[in-house]
Structure 1
Amino acid sequence: MENTEPEVNVASDLPENYNELKNAANRTANWRERLEAVEQLGQWKSQQSIDILKHRLHTDPVFQVQEAAYEKLKAWGEDALQPVRSKYDVVKGIQKILLRVKKSLPRDHSYEEFKEKLKKMRIDVYDTYEGDKGADFDAWLEGMWKSL
């Protein structure tokens, strides 16, 4: 049987910007930076990179980041369970958080004003759901805003 797995060429040491990548991988308010850090660290097989990727796989709130970490670990032959998209709220108490934002605005505010206020007050929540919902983020957020 022919092996169809892509060949993985990785360096066995750390990149020069390892500390920056480590910090980016743990930046809570920017899922894109975490994803990019996972992608870059996935090119440098070392115990440090493996540890960071496993941490992202098991704890990142954004499914795309978990999935990328899983793919890198599997390519290296590491023991990792494929992530499953959560059926529950990504951020605990999201309705209370959104209600607090809505109550901080004038009664006749627009959805756009609500969205901007959420971004200013809770960039971590905004960013996490933007990453988790992808193209459906605006529709989801507007639906939540209307239901509050």
Structure 2
Amino acid sequence: MGKNIVKNELPENYEELKKAANRTSNWKARYDAVEELGKYNTSQVIDILNSRLANDPVYKIQEAAYRILLEFGEDVQPPTRKKFEVIKGANKVFVRVKKSLPADHTFEEFATKLKRMRIDVYDAYEGEKGDDFKTWLQNEWSNLK
């Protein structure tokens, strides 16, 4: 893989990338935006990358922001993976969604309603758990009281 050429100017689609980097409902769009912004070493881009490093619920995105900031020569600390809740209060959200459904609801109904009610929570865990997401969510759901 060749080294990216870094430009010291803003990309033409900067506003679009800035929006995508902050889109809470789509971790893939945030990740792609961070990678694309990583080709432009400007103070505005560094601000966005620092924000993703400090605040993104998805570790993969924090990691990408950290790597790019290091390449830019910024003095940054590596992100630490959250051990328990990726999103604070997520378990309460899961309980609230489960209680809003009929007692005999299916896991698919739960997942659909969670996605509809709290796409930010659904998306953050999907990004964090990767291929294990559905299995993990089903396990969480079955353990809810």
Gaps of 5+ in 1: 1-5
| TM, length-normalised to structure 2 | 0.94
Q: Is 1:43 aligned to 2:69, yes or no?
A: no
| In structure 1, distance between residues paired with 2:74 and 2:7 | 16
CA–CA separation in structure 2 for the residues paired with 1:26 and 1:36? 11
Query: Are the equivalent residues in 2 in contact too, given 1:74–1:80 (CA < 8 A)?
Result: yes
How far has the Cα of 1:77 moved from its partner?
1.5
Q: Which has the larger radius of gyration?
A: 1
Pairwise CA RMSD: 1.2
Q: Decide whether the 8 Å contact of 1:45 with 1:76 is kept in 2.
A: yes
Residues paired across the two proteins, number: 143
Q: Where does the alignment leave 5 or more consecutive residues of structure 2 unmatched?
A: none
Contact 1:31–1:128 at 8 Å: present in 2 too?
yes
Deviation string, structure 1 residues 82-122 (Cα, Å, up to 9, x no partner): 11111120111222111111111111111111111111111
Find the partner of 1:98 among 82, 94, 107.
94
Deviation at 1:136, TM superposition (A): 1.4
The normalised TM-score by structure 1 is 0.92
Match of 2:60 in 1: 64
Structure 1 residue runs of 4+, over 2 Å off?
6-9
8 Å CA contact 1:11, 1:45 repeated in 2: yes
Percent sequence identity is 57
